[in-house]
Structure 1
Amino acid sequence: MYHAVDHRPSPATHRLSVSPEAFAEQMAVVAEHGLTPLTTAELATAWRTGGALPARPVLITFDDGYEGVHRHALPVLARHGFASTLFVSTGWLRGAHDEGGAPDTMLDWDQVRELAAAGAEIGGHTHTHPQLDQVDDRRLRYEAQRCKEIVREELGNAPESFAYPYGYSSRRVRQAVRGAGYAQALAVGNATAKRCQGPYALERMTVRRSTGIEEFARLVEGRAIGRAFAADRALTKGYAVVRRARGALRAAGRQPV
């Protein structure tokens, strides 16, 4: 799971960014290890139908829709012939639907179309990137559906795949995403995706500015994943308790102090 690919990302995106040089080096590792990148839809369809997969499939995904994905990542992906999935927050992209609030320079719709023409799957990532498990049902439906409508309007095809902003979801959120017509969705989890996770809770591993090439190689080999993300998992478990408490208070009509 990638976010920004840039030499000088904004402070808001720096930690979850990678430099163009690091991205190129990481994709070379993917090639050297004989992995075959697929789109999210291709992987999910194969698992759903029992279709054949290559021996070493991998997903390369980008969340949000930062301009550097077109400027820096696309040439590298094209050079290797790699498929990828870009999950766009439609209200952040530059153009007719821009509602502001984006943390860095975003793609415009012409660039999104060029990525799609180059073989990238374009998925949904909500309209304004809220924490979906913390919004009410009306806002939840709007975020999933509005994103889908805009992608269909701009590209001619509705997105099949979805990624939860911040990786946060719940049964209610997953049901809403399914109800909006998405066929599969990705969380974070910092683990490898497995068929048993179900089509609406597939996990991914985060690639950061601090991810060295040796660590990246271990991740694509499936080694030492637990150790690499031990701190993340501890924080996630603690924050999950807080989020459930906030949700319970909100459902009861009370706001936390």
Structure 2
Amino acid sequence: MSRQAVPILMYHSVATAPSDLTRELSVAPEAFREQMAQLGDLGCTPLTTADLARHWRRDAPLPPRPVLITFDDGYEGVHRHALPVLAEHGFASTLFVSTGWIRGEHEGGGALDTMLDWDQVRALAAAGTEIGGHSHTHPQLDQLADEELWFELLRCKEIIGAELGAAPASFAYPYGYSSHRVRRTVREAGFAQSLAVGNALALRRQGPYALRRVTVRRGTGAEEFERLVRGRAIARTFARDRALTKGYAVVRRARQVRRKAMRSRV
């Protein structure tokens, strides 16, 4: 069984002037270009999410220095700024779209910045980007009742299939939050693998529905980016994030218990 750790890079917006709501999780186009050049200089081989899962399911050897480049939500800058750079290097990537945020007939509002439209999503797919699901309205899935959870997954899958002609195989949890129930439902909805966050390297033993990623932000400099790709000092880099996540997890569990109690009274 493969024990090789793989860095899965999580991007959001690639923008010169992102909205205040997306700024921290955005990267400047110049920084993205430099980071992709770094991957090339390090001899990395970018894979799609489906590619990685396929290798691990078959226990097949991975290519030299594998890495995944992933984008969440579906911001317009992925087409405007990231696609030309990926094409220049011949790099594979995966885009996880929240279908209710993508501009067009399925749009339901709530997006945090300018989003892709479906023609742009199709252009990315045609260029070799894997298109995965990221729910319909981008909720915290583990806080939803079963009926709402199924709606978010199936509506997302249905729209992507209708727009692109093929159902998505991969999924990413909004906010990175999941639970055993959510992971089971994602599998039962027909997704073959799914990504969390965790800010750690991905390992086969994490299972296909809980693969971890590392966050690339606006403040990620060249030295830190190389450490992330090489898997060095990741725990120290994200120590503050882990502390905040643990604290918020207590609040979220309390909310979930309260909601279950309210539903049981109905």
TM-score (ref. length: structure 2): 0.94
1:134 aligns with 2:143: yes
Unaligned runs of 5+ in 1: none
1:35 matched to which residue of 2? Answer: 44
What is the rounded CA distance, in whole Å, between the counterparts of 2:249 and 2:204 in structure 1?
A: 24
Q: Compare relative contact order (CA 8 Å, sep 6+) and give the higher one, 1 or 2.
A: 2
Matched residue type, 1:46: H
2:124 matched to which residue of 1? Answer: 115
1:222 aligns with 2:207: no
Q: Displacement, 1:137?
A: 0.7
1:183 matched to which residue of 2? Answer: 192
2:59 matched to which residue of 1? Answer: 50
What is the rounded CA distance, in whole Å, between the counterparts of 2:58 and 2:251 in structure 1?
A: 38
What is the rounded CA distance, in whole Å, between the counterparts of 1:245 and 1:196 in structure 2?
A: 30
1:174 aligns with 2:183: yes
Runs of 4+ deviating beyond 4 Å: none
What is the rounded CA distance, in whole Å, between the counterparts of 2:100 and 2:175 in structure 1?
A: 16
> Which residues in structure 2 correspond to 1:151-166 (within 5 Å)?
151-166=160-175
2:240 matched to which residue of 1? Answer: 231
Matched residue type, 2:109: G
1:213 aligns with 2:201: no
What is the rounded CA distance, in whole Å, between the counterparts of 1:71 and 1:123 in structure 2?
A: 19
Q: Could you tell me which of 19, 30, 50 is aligned with 1:21?
A: 30
Note the alpha carbon deviations across 1:181-233, whole angstroms, 9 max, x for none.
00000000000000010000000000001111110011111111111100011
Instruction: Give the aligned CA root-mean-square deviation in angstroms.
Output: 1.1
Unaligned runs of 5+ in 2: 1-9
Matched residue type, 1:73: A
Q: Displacement, 1:146?
A: 0.4
What is the rounded CA distance, in whole Å, between the counterparts of 2:185 and 2:261 in structure 1?
A: 20
Q: Displacement, 1:55?
A: 2.3
Q: Displacement, 1:52?
A: 2.5
Q: Displacement, 1:121?
A: 0.2
Q: Displacement, 1:172?
A: 0.9
1:146 matched to which residue of 2? Answer: 155
Note the alpha carbon deviations across 1:133-173, whole angstroms, 9 max, x for none.
11111110000110000000000000000000000101111
1:65 aligns with 2:63: no
Q: Could you tell me which of 183, 203, 214 is aligned with 1:194?
A: 203
Number of aligned residue pairs: give it: 255
Matched residue type, 2:216: V
1:241 aligns with 2:244: no
Q: Displacement, 1:124?
A: 0.1
2:6 matched to which residue of 1? Answer: none
Note the alpha carbon deviations across 1:29-56, whole angstroms, 9 max, x for none.
1111111000000001111111231021
Matched residue type, 2:218: R
What is the rounded CA distance, in whole Å, between the counterparts of 1:109 and 1:133 in structure 2?
A: 28
What is the rounded CA distance, in whole Å, between the counterparts of 1:250 and 1:170 in structure 2?
A: 16
State the secondary structure of the residue aligned to 1:223: coil
Aligned residues with identical type, % of pairs: 73
Q: Could you tell me which of 106, 110, 114 is aligned with 1:105?
A: 114
Matched residue type, 2:31: A
State the secondary structure of the residue aligned to 1:130: coil
1:6 aligns with 2:26: no
What is the rounded CA distance, in whole Å, between the counterparts of 2:263 and 2:79 in structure 1?
A: 44
What is the rounded CA distance, in whole Å, between the counterparts of 1:195 and 1:183 in structure 2?
A: 14
